Chain A
Amino acid sequence: MAPDPTTPTMKLRSPVHPSVTESDLTRIFGQDRVSRRSVDRITYSRDLWPRGMLWSRQGRVPHPPDWIVWPEKEEQIVQLLDLANRKKVPIIPYGAGSGVCGGTVPIQGGIILDLKRMTRVLEVKGDSLLATAECGINGQVFETELNRRGFTMGHFPSSIYCSTLGGWIATRSAGQLSTRYGKIEDMVLGVRAVLASGEIYQTRITPRRATGPDLVQLLVGSEGTLGVLTQGTVRIHRLPESRRFRGIMFQDVESGMETIRQVLQQGLRPAAVRLYDELDTFLVGSKKRKKPKNGLAAVIGRVQKTLEHQMIAWPELVGYLEKWIGGRCLLIFTFEGQTEMTRLEDALALECCESNGGRDLGPGPARHWWDHRYDVSYQQSALLEKGYFVDTFEVATTWEHLPRLYRQVREALSGRVVVMAHFSHAYPEGCSIYFTFAGRGSDETETEALYEEVWNLAMEAAMSANSTLSHHHGVGLSKAPFMGRELGPGLGMLRKIKAALDPNGILNPGKLGM
């Protein structure tokens, strides 16, 4: 029989854990804070893992949750975990679902625990430079509130508009100004969390402690597998007195890398350091602020746009293009803090750049990046709409391995997809490389297969160059299969800790390789 042309095609599986009933949950959360409506099961079935985007494009929902609940009080979470332990049902703590690794995908069904109704700023202490907030607060809302009071957290992940404090801590996130302000693990002084047992863990807030292993750091990056974060206390800073920008053009990526190493090892701490490789410089790094509407610049702009699309459609063209666009790698710095300090840091960094063959472009390119620093996150839709996949991964290694890491990953992917990279999150010891790749097959099935092939090749190439699999996106599902190689015996330790804290395995199963 032919399919009914009016029948919608999306199918939602039945709940995996029918033992949990509506009354079980409404007793805890009330009627309005519990859902198993189809619309909610669809929207909570994925985060921003590109594989989930492909499912959505195909109209598939392979992993809908059974239920979604919205706690407003910690006590409700305690009761929920008690229920989940009794009924052996997975609980997936959920911030804003902006992760790109599938960290909140309910692969075993269960209950999504959405924390976005716990959003209060509880305390801002200007004298000790600390702020405490509930974990469901949106990052930009939190930062704006701090700004009004004259402070900043200094944490600016490109997802700041669409992620939460709890998500940052749970995924061990890093922001664009991490070289100055540190990563989330440097910022979090304490957390409050509900453990799987229902016990509350709360850190005593002190500047540091030497009372055994740091339990806060055990929860930072735990991706919801060891506890449900409900509050975070973070370091804050007074708003910077000045901000300076510098753009430098290098002839090759190696000179830029060497310059960053020297700048960091001199003890300078730019807020942002970003070195774009030749393709990234061509496509992103050197774009001017305003789109030209006419004249030669407009023609060049259109040619560039056309080339971008052609390259992604035929990645083998990239090699030829690179010969044409070669010799231009943009490095940008931003500096912030006291005026005299930023002036000095800018001057010293510039001196270092010029001694390595860099050409000073003035503040323009870095200021342009600053003004548009989140824009790239808006751009992936156009490619996905046209049938492509686009993804990123962020690896890191020490300076001596960095050139090899860059080369190996590019070589592994070239010809299959378009791949470009920038270097950011620099340290005296090494640096992170942020790769972006895009491609497509002849249909959705081929596209998904190519995506998987490329992902595996990328992970393999990175690991063989002594890199970590993730500098700041986390593990989720996308990197879970590689955790054994990443951690070695450490994965066993992690699993034992998990088993001790969560013997029934209810918290976000399948993530972090557990």
Chain B
Amino acid sequence: MTRKPKELEPFTHEAATCSFCPKMCRFSCPVDRVEGSESTSPWGKVTLLRHVQQGQIPLDHEVLDSSYRCTGCLACKKACVHEQELPPMFEAVRAMGAAAGLAPEALKRKDELMSRFGNPVGPELGHCLVDRVPASRFGRQAPVLIFFGCTTLKKYPGIVDDTVRVLDAGEVDYAVAGPDQICSGLPSASHGYPQRFREVALRNIERFRRYPRVISDCPGAVSTFRRRYPELGLPASVQVEHLSILLLELLTSGRLQPRTQAVEKAFYHDPCHLGRYLGVYDQPRELLRRLLGEQPEELTFNRDLGLCSGGGGGLPLTAPTTAKGVARLPVEETRSRKGSLLVSPCPTARKMFSRADSELDVQDPVTLLARRL
């Protein structure tokens, strides 16, 4: 008899399926493409966890380190005939690590911030909202609740300005979530703090109930609201969409008529949580087509197999060099194919791409739209 962690029991079949597979999904894994290590390929990560599960090796720092090397991008699921979804397994292991005090210090600090402020940054995110959004927009009843993501507020407050400008121009009746309600809780879930995630989610759900529609500029938040919140009580009547869907609606309904302005070689990046998680591929492309006057250029790996930005799953905190390397893949391709602009409707992806190449012009579609009003 050896120790077989019960937390991994629910994944017994998944672990065996990956562990005995010929590593068929590895071409799709951004971490594998950057690190080139068997131990951090999807196969390697799961094989090690299977050994832990079987009581053959301990869950130690080395195994945990391997389990942290996943952005949760879900590309491996798209490359898998069995459609295995691995992030839940890694989240379970990270939770075991956190409970045992083995989590990396950077993640512990983020959890502390989540605990104190309800977001992974601090009070300044709320201040940013207060500075940029009229006070009358908070707490009011409206058909639409706008929920800005943490990265937008921390790194790209201009997205808030552009969104407000566009929504006002389109005469949208909306409220803005906050300033004390920021973050979907996804970082807590993916870092291995499920209880903290639950706390944040329940608070958000309580407020979302009042609104027929919740719109966020953060794909991670949208997919979290749609995939994780219902089991915690989010009513099915609350419709959750990404901002790009609302923007396209404003254009197709004629409520906004921006001028078309071409950009030479603009590439579109599919955010993981918008594309693979929610299946939203066409609407952002159509939005760009209307703004640019032509279809955006496609990266070699796109749509279902689109490249991750490296920003998810806490990877920038646990393996920053790898995260940057992942971001470099679409950035370098954009550069090498003489692209002048990389468009991503994901603020986290934008942050990662800018870290990888500070000279490359990376924009959110809402900014392109605001500039064309």
Query: A residues within 8 Å of B by Cβ?
Result: 3, 5-10, 32, 37-40, 42-44, 48, 53, 56-57, 59, 68, 70, 96-98, 114-117, 119, 136, 138-141, 144-145, 148, 159, 161-162, 374-375, 377-382, 384-385
Contacts and interface: CB of A to CB of B under 8 A. Distances in A.
B100 interface: no
A37 B33 CA distance: 20
B54 interface: yes
Contacts of A32: 321
A146 to B, nearest CB: 10
Given A96-B26, A140-B27, A43 B47 contact: yes
A384 to B, nearest CB: 4
Contact of B27 (A38, A97, A114, A161): A161
Highest count of chain B CB atoms <10 Å: which of A42, A48, A114, A382: A42
Contacts of A138: 26-27, 33
Contacts of A7: 2-3
Nearest to B19: A56
A8 B60 CA distance: 11
Interface stretch (B75-83, B128-136, B348-356): B75-83
Contacts of B65: 39
B23 A43 contact: no
Contact of A162 (B2, B17, B24): B24
Contact of A381 (B20, B33, B39): B20
Interface in B37-64: 37-39, 44, 47-48, 51, 54-58, 62-63
Nearest to A138: B27
Nearest to A70: B36
A375 B81 contact: yes
A37 B55 CA distance: 19
B22 A98 contact: yes
Contact of A59 (B28, B35, B56, B58): B56
A98 B54 CA distance: 24
A117 B325 CA distance: 12
B301 A144 contact: yes
A97 B63 CA distance: 20
Interface string B260-287: 0000000000000000000000000000
Given A10-B57, A97-B38, A161-B26, A380 B20 contact: yes
Nearest to A158: B22
Given A38-B62, A114-B37, A138-B33, A374 B57 contact: no
Highest count of chain A CB atoms <10 Å: which of B13, B18, B56: B56
A141 B27 contact: yes
A412 B48 CA distance: 37
B21 interface: yes
B37 A378 contact: no
A43 B38 contact: yes
B17 A381 contact: yes
Contacts of A37: 39, 62
B151 to A, nearest CB: 27
A40 B39 contact: yes
Interface in B54-111: 54-58, 62-63, 65-66, 79-82
Contacts of B373: none
Contacts of A375: 81
B169 interface: no
B195 interface: no
B2 A8 contact: yes
Contacts of A48: 22-23
B236 interface: no
Nearest to B300: A148
Highest count of chain B CB atoms <10 Å: which of A53, A56, A145, A379: A56
Contacts of A117: 35-36
Given A39-B66, A114-B37, A5 B2 contact: yes
B23 A96 contact: yes
B36 A385 contact: no
Contacts of A145: 300
Given A59-B56, A148-B300, A378-B82, A42 B48 contact: yes
A39 B167 CA distance: 52
A148 B19 CA distance: 32
Contacts of A68: 37
A274 B3 CA distance: 48
B300 A144 contact: yes
Interface string B293-334: 000000011000000000000000000010000000000000
A497 B122 CA distance: 67
B153 interface: no
A97 B57 contact: no
A56 B47 contact: yes
Nearest to A383: B20
A384 B20 contact: yes
A68 B23 CA distance: 19
Contacts of B63: 39
24 contacts: A3-B1, A3-B2, A5-B3, A7-B2, A9-B2, A37-B39, A39-B39, A39-B65, A43-B48, A48-B22, A59-B51, A59-B54, A59-B56, A68-B37, A70-B37, A96-B23, A98-B23, A139-B27, A144-B300, A148-B300, A161-B25, A162-B24, A384-B16, A385-B20
A148 to B, nearest CB: 5
Given A7-B2, A375-B81, A44 B22 contact: no
B64 to A, nearest CB: 10
Nearest to A380: B20
A283 B338 CA distance: 50
Given A40-B38, A70-B36, A148-B300, 17 more contacts: A8-B2, A8-B3, A37-B39, A43-B44, A43-B47, A43-B48, A56-B47, A117-B35, A141-B33, A159-B22, A161-B24, A161-B25, A162-B22, A162-B23, A162-B25, A377-B21, A379-B81
Nearest to B17: A381
A251 to B, nearest CB: 32
B3 A39 contact: no
Contacts of B55: 8-9
B308 to A, nearest CB: 14
Nearest to A160: B27
Contact of A374 (B3, B24, B35, B36): B24
B24 to A, nearest CB: 5
Given A43-B47, A59-B54, A381-B19, A5 B1 contact: yes
B21 A378 contact: yes
Contacts of B51: 10, 42, 59
B17 A42 contact: no
A56 B54 CA distance: 11
A173 to B, nearest CB: 14
Contacts of A141: 27, 33
Contacts of B81: 375, 378-379
Highest count of chain A CB atoms <10 Å: which of B3, B37, B79: B37
Contacts of B47: 42-43, 56
- Per CB-CB distance, the 4 closest pairs between chain A and chain B, nearest first, are A116-B36, A59-B56, A385-B16, A381-B20
